């Protein structure tokens, strides 16, 4: 069934924190391979950025399946080989109200869509000359030993989106994404980290917490609700799938 898009709810200006908080050339695609869009006005509102590694496939599924279709655009980096990211995106798309696909270089960012970094390229966001934003893919050197790297995505979010961004760092080994999330927080973005008890590996969120990059630390099952609270929407859809 075709997914429906709805107007985006404006984010609230304030929200109480519920957890520990801080006191190369691009990959080539052809224009015909890019999804068509029915939006006439380039999107320039809030954008959600998610990073994860070990345990992240199920963590991302948990977050996306708790979000309604009418969410802002979502950009995702999951450490995963290129041979698996396409099928992972398809699985998420089949389970979620949000449309999910692998990001394409140069494609315009739209609400109600989640863009997953392909396993062969870094994903970042860039302002489009005519307004709105578009995806940028680059097969450049690994960052923090990863390509795609969460830090690459988060640094671009800080530079291009600033205070209109929401950054979410989920379970994962190592420190990828921690510095980028700090840059997002310094740019005025709202930042959320998964808590230790619900992480498969409490590495990346821990490093972000140590840097003072997190405004909220919440259990995995609460991440989507806190994102929606930040957006000013307090009712989540009933989950009809496992």
DSSP state of 32: G
Q: How far apart are CA 98 and CA 3, in angstroms?
A: 7
Check if 176 is active-site: yes
Q: How far apart are CA 210 and CA 205, in angstroms?
A: 9
Q: Determine which one of 79, 122, 134, 146 is catalytic.
A: 79
Q: Coil, strand, or helix at residue 208?
A: helix
Q: Determine which one of 105, 151, 176, 195 is catalytic.
A: 176
Check if 53 is active-site: yes
Q: How far apart are CA 214 and CA 21, in angstroms?
A: 5
Q: How far apart are CA 154 and CA 211, in angstroms?
A: 15
Helix axes 204-211, 178-186, angle to 10 degrees: 40
Strands (E), 13-156: 47-52, 74-78, 99-102, 113-116, 122-127, 133-138
Active site members:
53, 79, 176
């Amino acid at each position: 069934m075709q997914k429906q898009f709805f107007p985006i709810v404006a984010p609230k200006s304030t929200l109480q924190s519920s957890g520990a908080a801080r006191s190369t050339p691009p990959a080539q695609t052809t224009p015909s391979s890019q999804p068509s869009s029915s939006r006439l006005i380039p999107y320039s509102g809030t954008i959600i950025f998610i990073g994860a590694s070990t345990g992240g496939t199920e963590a991302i599924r948990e977050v996306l399946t708790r979000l309604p279709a009418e969410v802002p655009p979502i950009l995702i980096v999951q450490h995963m080989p290129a041979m698996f990211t396409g099928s992972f995106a398809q699985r998420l798309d089949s389970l979620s109200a949000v449309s999910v696909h692998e990001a394409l270089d140069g494609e315009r960012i739209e609400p109600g869509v989640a863009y997953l970094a392909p396993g062969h390229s870094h994903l970042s966001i860039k302002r489009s000359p005519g307004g709105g934003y578009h995806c940028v893919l680059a097969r450049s050197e690994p960052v923090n030993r990863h390509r795609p790297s969460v830090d690459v995505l988060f640094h671009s979010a800080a530079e291009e989106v600033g205070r209109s961004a929401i950054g979410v760092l989920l379970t994962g080994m190592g420190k990828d994404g921690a510095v980028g999330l700090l840059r997002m927080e310094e740019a005025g973005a709202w930042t959320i980290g998964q808590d230790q008890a619900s992480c498969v590996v409490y590495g990346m969120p821990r490093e972000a917490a140590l840097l003072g990059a997190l405004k909220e630390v919440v259990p995995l099952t609460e991440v989507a609700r806190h994102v929606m609270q930040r957006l000013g929407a307090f009712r989540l859809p009933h989950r009809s799938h496992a």
